[in-house]
Amino acid sequence: MKIHNIKDFVGGWFIGDFKPSLDERTDFEISVKYYQAGDKEKSHYHKEAIEYTVIGKGKVKMNNQIIEEGSIVVINKNESTDFEVLEDTITFVVKTPSVKNDKYIVE
């Protein structure tokens, strides 16, 4: 058994086609992210990946919708979303496939 810390991975991403990774693979990627109330991410989309986000704890706003703990958000290819943290939040994210440089910021 090996034990790792999520802080040792970039942005909470610990499996996928990047380094460091516990399992470098191209079919999917996984992250656990910790946010504080007030954190924001710019609106962005992916041309090749579908993103599944589970709100494990907390509350966020995405595309002007309030998303609460226990919700699963599916963002399809070419669908953009922003992200605003309304209370301290933990997310679990799976993207498939794991494609390098597949994040496009909406200007």
Q: What pLDDT sits at residue 101? A: 94
Q: What pLDDT sits at residue 107? A: 83
Q: What is the pTM of this model?
A: 0.93
Kindly report, residue by residue over 60-74, the tens digit of the pLDDT.
999 999 999 999 999
Per-domain residue ranges of the chain: 27-102
Buried b / exposed e across 30-48, counting CB within 10 Å, b at 16+? bbebbbeeeeeeeebbbee
Which CATH number applies to 27-102: 3.40.710.10, 1.10.510.10, 2.40.50.140, 2.60.120.10? 2.60.120.10
Kindly report, residue by residue over 8-56, the tens digit of the pLDDT.
999 999 999 999 999 999 999 999 999 999 999 999 999 999 999 999 9
Kindly report, residue by residue over 85-106, the tens digit of the pLDDT.
999 999 999 999 999 999 999 9
Decide: 101 and 29 in contact? Cβ < 8 Å. Answer: no
- Helix, strand, coil percentages for the chain (3-state, nearest 5): 5, 50, 40
Mean pLDDT of 78-90: 98
Structure tokens at 105: 């910021």
Residue 103: closest CA among 90, 88, 91, 93: 93
